[in-house]
């Protein structure tokens, strides 16, 4: 089963939604830089096992505030599939991009991308007449004009990914970079890059996992982290044939996710 963050056939819908946005959905521009990135090591090992596909389906129920960092040179680590993996691919400046503020996170949106979050998704957390709240499939979702390229954010309770009675506070509590790949990368995917990224924010240093891979003719850049028992997953996807032209912007969008 393909992860839901991979694109589905385009729908004959207008590109923009017409509901009145709440303050949390406003897009603003900000040129301030508050974080410094340092790249740590990726691990070697075999590709994620076949059970990863089922785990990934649970992770993606349907799939920074500053310009991207200047990445310091480092030795080329092995990929999770074995063999040499290229250093983290190019990153575009996102200073001029619109910034979306969601529930506990923000993310930069590539130029010309439309907000395609459905009204039912936006109101999914609301309850009526005591009914059980419907879990939102996406916390944010944007698409290129032809709908072939997507940038999505999913928020999942961390205990749905790894059974624990404790509230996860860091992505490392879900496992190492290699171990966690079974949660975020579908079985059979070809992994191009896997990185641990440390982010210095105002109070502490937060750990993110970054994966870039190909699955079912789609190229995916995925950034994920954990905070207060929630796992935040930003995924940018495009057909493999489009990645050479648009991959830098899509990778930059995924990496731009930060927690508010």
Classify residue 8: in a domain, yes or no: no
pLDDT of residue 3: 60
What are 20's two structure tokens? 């009145």
Q: Over pLDDT 90: what percentage of the chain?
A: 52
CB 33 within 8 A of CB 66: yes
Structurally, the chain folds into a number of domains equal to 1
Classify residue 132: in a domain, yes or no: no
Q: How confident is the model at residue 21 (pLDDT cuts 50, 70, 90)?
A: very low
24 phi, psi to nearest 5 deg: -70, -20
- Which has the closest alpha carbon to 254: 241, 240, 236? 236
Lowest mean pLDDT among 26-35, 41-50, 119-128, 149-158: 41-50
Give per-residue pLDDT as tens, 224-250. Answer: 999 999 999 999 999 999 999 999 999
Classify residue 238: in a domain, yes or no: yes
Classify residue 15: in a domain, yes or no: no
Rounded Cα distance between 210 and 196, Å, is: 6
Domain with residue 73: its CATH number is: 3.40.1000.10
Classify residue 158: in a domain, yes or no: yes
Classify residue 131: in a domain, yes or no: no
Q: Strands 230-239 and 150-157: what pairing?
A: antiparallel
Classify residue 237: in a domain, yes or no: yes
Give per-residue pLDDT as tens, 119-166. Answer: 765 555 554 555 555 567 899 999 999 999 999 999 999 998 988 778
Classify residue 31: in a domain, yes or no: no
Q: Which residue range is the domain that position 67 belongs to?
A: 40-126+138-259
Q: Which neighbouring-strand residues pair with 225?
A: 232
Give DSSP secondary structure letters for 61-118. Answer: -----SPPP-PPP-PPPBPTTSSB---S------TTSEEEE-SSEEEEE-TT-EE---
Give per-residue pLDDT as tens, 103-124. Answer: 999 999 999 999 999 876 555 5
CB 194 within 8 A of CB 211: yes
pLDDT of residue 118: 80
CB 26 within 8 A of CB 101: yes
Other beta carbons within 10 angstroms of residue 156's beta carbon come to: 20
Other beta carbons within 10 angstroms of residue 72's beta carbon come to: 8
For the chain, the average pLDDT equals 74
Rounded Cα distance between 104 and 240, Å, is: 31
Q: What average pLDDT does this structure show over 57-72?
A: 35
Task: Kindly tell me the burial class for residue 110, based on how many C-beta atoms sit within 10 Å of its own C-beta (0-12, 13-18, 19 or more).
Answer: buried
């Amino acid at each position: 089963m393909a992860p839901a963050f991979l694109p589905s056939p385009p729908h004959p819908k207008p590109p923009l939604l017409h509901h009145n946005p709440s303050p949390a959905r406003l897009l603003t521009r900000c040129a301030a830089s508050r974080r410094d990135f340092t790249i740590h090591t990726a691990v070697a090992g075999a590709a994620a096992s076949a059970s990863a596909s089922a785990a990934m389906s649970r992770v993606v129920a349907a799939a920074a505030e500053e310009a991207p960092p200047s990445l310091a040179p480092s030795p080329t680590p092995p990929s999770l599939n074995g063999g040499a993996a290229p250093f983290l691919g190019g990153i575009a400046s996102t200073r001029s991009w619109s910034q979306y503020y969601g529930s506990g996170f923000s993310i930069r949106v590539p130029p010309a991308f439309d907000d395609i979050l459905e009204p039912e998704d936006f109101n999914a957390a609301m309850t009526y007449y005591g009914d059980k709240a419907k879990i939102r499939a996406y916390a944010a979702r944007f698409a290129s004009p032809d709908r072939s390229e997507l940038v999505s954010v999913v928020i999942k309770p961390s205990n749905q990914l790894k059974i624990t009675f404790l509230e996860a506070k860091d992505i490392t509590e879900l496992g190492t970079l290699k171990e966690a790949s079974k949660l975020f990368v579908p079985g059979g995917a070809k992994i191009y890059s896997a990185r641990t990224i440390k982010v210095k924010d105002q109070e502490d240093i937060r750990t993110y996992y970054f994966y870039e891979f190909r699955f079912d003719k789609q190229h995916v850049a995925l950034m994920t982290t954990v905070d207060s028992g929630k796992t935040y997953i930003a995924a940018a996807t495009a057909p493999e044939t489009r990645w050479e032209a648009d991959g830098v912007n899509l990778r930059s969008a995924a990496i731009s996710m930060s927690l508010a």
